[in-house]
Amino acid sequence: MSGNLYIVSAPSGAGKTSLVAALLEADRGIRKSVSYTTRPPRPGEVNGIHYHFVTTDAFEKMAQAGDFLESALVHDNRYGTSRKWVEERLAADTDIVLEIDWQGAAQVRRLMPATISIFILPPSFETLLQRLNARAQDTLEVIARRLANAREEIAHVTDFDYVIINNDFRVAAAELQDVVRAERLRTSRQLHRHTALINRLK
């Protein structure tokens, strides 16, 4: 039995990063995979904590070597998940969360069908625009492109196992934690983790 692998996807501005951070704070039994990216760091981002920031050449070499479990081109930048890091932690029965887009999610599900996927939706496009503007991290051109891409991303919502609407952050954060807790209580996992107890009770 290996750890659970969770995917959290969302259009930019839906609150994915904040919700995953809240999950990690509330649940010490789950770890986040730190993605590799070719995009430059935003203010306050730290290499190795928020992302592994690499050059395009370095990213391409890793991709050619088969180092990525998934990779995708998002908003003109490349993103990828370390295959080795994820596989080693899952083998050690550690739960892992991937914060990736729908393209990467589809790749991971093909390789690991047992992956649990969660899509975060904003309550409206107006809210999405407000959140993107409030971040004050992107130009108007970039924000317009993110909004345009959001419609395509949301079109893939039916590919996911769970959908959370991030209208009230506290409610959405609790719902994300509920998904993780529920998946751990599946019969197959409880039978594996509590074999001795269940045998005594039979």
Q: What is the pLDDT of residues 15-28, one digit of tens each?
A: 999 999 999 999 99
**Number of CB atoms found within 10 A of residue 21's CB:** 13
Please give the pLDDT value at position 1: 60
Listed residue (41, 37, 1) closest to 195, CA to CA: 1
Q: Round to whole Å and give the CA distance between 128 and 120.
A: 12
Listed residue (165, 186, 180) closest to 117, CA to CA: 180
Q: Round to whole Å and give the CA distance between 189 and 73.
A: 35
Please give the pLDDT value at position 126: 86
Question: Whole-prediction pTM value?
Answer: 0.87
| pLDDT tens-place string over residues 25-45 | 999 999 999 999 999 998 889
| pLDDT tens-place string over residues 90-148 | 999 999 999 999 999 999 999 999 999 999 999 888 888 787 777 766 677 777 787 88
**Percent over 70 (pLDDT), the chain:** 98
Structure tokens belonging to residue 139:
């130009």
Please give the pLDDT value at position 13: 82
* Pairing outcome for strands 68-74 and 77-82: antiparallel
Q: Which domains does the chain have, with CATH numbers?
A: 5-201 (3.40.50.300)
Mean pLDDT within 167-175: 97
Q: Identify which has the larger pLDDT, 143 or 62.
A: 62
Inter-residue contact 16 to 120 (CB < 8 Å): yes
Average pLDDT taken over every residue of the chain: 92
